[in-house]
Amino acid sequence: MPTVNLRGPLKQMAGNRGEHAADGETVVALLKNLERAQPAVAGWILDECGDIRRHINVFVNGEPAQAATAVGAADRVDVLPAISGGSR
């Protein structure tokens, strides 16, 4: 099963644990499953449209990924705030 790494407030809300096992054939499917398993992070990574929030970056095995990027069983998925964010 893929591993999802969370940092900062996401880690704190997910039981103060950075590493989570979560299934999903694509990035967005995996993140939706993560939200079901860790309800406190619901709405923090994905918005109501089911899209990855615009200033959240997701990487699969260190490579920039999109919502539809495929995820393999042994893959590592990192969820990080993007440098494009920051308050206006």
For the bound state, the minimum distance from the C-beta of residue 11 to another protein, rounded and expressed in Å, comes to 13
Specify the stretch interacting with another protein by CB under 8 A; choose among 19-27, 58-66, 68-76, 77-85.
77-85
For the bound state, the minimum distance from the C-beta of residue 33 to another protein, rounded and expressed in Å, comes to 15
Distances (CA, A) of 34 to 39, 72, 84: 8, 15, 24
* Residues 3/20, Cβ–Cβ less than 8 Å: yes
Among positions 50, 61, 66, 70, the unique one binding another protein when judged by CB under 8 A: 50
CA distance 7 to 11: 5
For another protein, the binding residues (CB under 8 A) are 9-10, 40, 43-45, 47-51, 53, 55-56, 81-82, 85-88
